[in-house]
Amino acid sequence: MLNRAEQDYIKVIIVLEDKNTEEYLSNKELVKKFGHTPQTVNETIKKLVNKDLVEYVPYKGCKLTKEGREIGTRLIRIHRIWEYFLYEKLGYTWEQVHEEAEKLEHVTSFLLEERLYEYLGRPEQCPHGSYIPKLNDSSGTN
């Protein structure tokens, strides 16, 4: 079981990996993104390594394992489904949907995720135009 901080790290890593041209993501990039101390970033990465979700190579950085990418892709999927629901069905503004979806993604079961996706007519994009990954897709954020 992953706590919210670990889930956030996985989600940020997959987004940065998909934008990065290097194979490994430096801890400095995570320090910059989160505003955490290097020690906090190192401790969180170590926890994810121990759970076999992240591979870490000293002086190179980290990257998600296959399982880590699957979890990261699912978190992005849930987040974007919630954004779509909040915007299309509840009338939230663009500015509001991200923060609410950020909270909801951490407490959404597989069953709720799939039912919500079906209810919404299997949308392909969130309100911001980003691709909503299919179930069991580990392609990341693209």
Specify the CATH number for the domain of residue 91.
1.10.60.10
Residues 11 and 57 in one domain: yes
Residues 59 and 80 in one domain: no
Residue 139 lies in a domain: no
DSSP letter at 63 equals E
Collapse the DSSP code of 57 into the 3-class scheme (helix H, G, I; strand E, B; otherwise coil) and give the result: strand
Residues 55 and 102 in one domain: no
The tokens describing 140, both together, are: 């990341």
Give dist(CA 114, CA 27) in Å, integer. Answer: 34
Residues 56 and 90 in one domain: no
Domain at 22, CATH number: 1.10.10.10
Q: Which domain holds residue 34?
A: 4-64
Residues 58 and 85 in one domain: no
pTM score, two decimals?
0.90
Query: In a structure prediction context, what are the per-residue pLDDT tens digits for the chain, which is 142 residues long?
Result: 899 999 999 999 999 998 888 889 999 999 999 999 999 999 999 999 999 999 999 999 999 999 999 999 999 999 999 999 999 999 999 889 999 999 999 999 999 999 999 999 999 999 999 999 988 766 666 6
